Structure 1
Amino acid sequence: MVGRYCRIYNNLDQVDDRLVDFIPSPRKINLESINKTLRSTMTTLMDARVLFDHVIKHYPSTAEQLYPIASLVKFPDFENGVIKLLVGKAANLSRQERTAMAKMLRTTSDTPSNGDDSAPNKQSFAEETLCSEMSTHAAPHSLHWISPTSNYAEHLYPRAGIMFLRLRRCLNPTTLETGLFLQYCRRLCDASAVVKAVETPGRYSASFR
């Protein structure tokens, strides 16, 4: 979009300030690259923490929402404990983090190797952050499978936007929530299971909990 604007710049009306709203700022481009990276199924909990720390460094106003112990984080001790294990700092775990990570600390399996693809010539804000930070860390525990909460949220929001189109604005909130729930959990149940649960809720409700 920026490249297209540069090509047609000389033909634009220089006094039309309304066009400014359609030109993404460097801040918006950087944060959009972070959002897209968080939507990836390959993004780990440590990746999310590295990205958030980098955003806080460049945009301090976001610290209140992205800090490791922010009120939005539901289990800060668990998440911080996982990150410390991934970066090889198990000795620095606090007592609360050790309690939250009690079962994870028993893990003795080796960390699965992640194939490193050659970096492209031009990297986004998020890619540069991960490449510079991940190269200095070696994870002794196989905890890369733990997804960040933001990963699920970033997947849910686009789906909600697709479902909540203008023609569906009159939907009952409960109906919309049920549709999103079924779409998100479609790997766990098929259409026949949903039909059985609707017909006999008392018998099959436990399978959806």
Structure 2
Amino acid sequence: MAPLARALRDRGARVLVVERRGYGSRDGLAPAATVAENVDDVVAVLDEAGVGRATVAGMSGGATVALAMAISHPERLIRAVAHEPAVGALVPALGELVRGALAAGGGAGLARALAGPGTWAALDAPVRDAVLARATLIERDAPAFLAFDPQLGPAVGERLVCTVGALSPPLRHRVAAALAHRTGAPVITVPGCAHLPQYDAPRTFADTIRAHAPLQETIR
């Protein structure tokens, strides 16, 4: 995440990074959190930092949390930027992809499937190793994201920006289009990246966030 955080700071943003339960410095033995509990964690970070409203940007599972925050805590948002969130309940084929990857290869298989073969192969070896080291956590968290069934409508779209990688497969573009249809939110295609813009194109993704969401406070 460091390259994206640096790129946002270079563009004048104050960046707060939220680690999901069990990741980074957080307790690796922590049980899986629901999407709502992940939102509560973001709100707690905002409260601790004395931030009333923020632009919340996330990728993959983090995008799901940003979307959920637009639904449950719009008063804490300037904008939610959601890059390819996990909304298998909205587009069942996405849920089928996740379940199939888990069945075939567990958390490591899901990480590879979500990244896509091109992105996965292009990642530096230390980054791949870091992702694979979290395979157990990825598998642990998958059921909560699979169960996420958002209540969507125009009010959500007032705070939401959907992004999708230009190099992502058609399924991801279908998901973005479905979110836009249900909420009226804009869909922005990010050049030069797929599911993981923080690795593929951090500066381009930072430019996208800056162009479409205010950066008085940015939390990721």
CA radius of gyration, larger in: 1
Higher strand share: 2
Higher helix share: 1
TM-score normalised per structure 1? 0.28
Larger relative contact order, structure 1 or 2 (CA cutoff 8 Å, min sep 6): 2
TM-score normalised per structure 2? 0.27
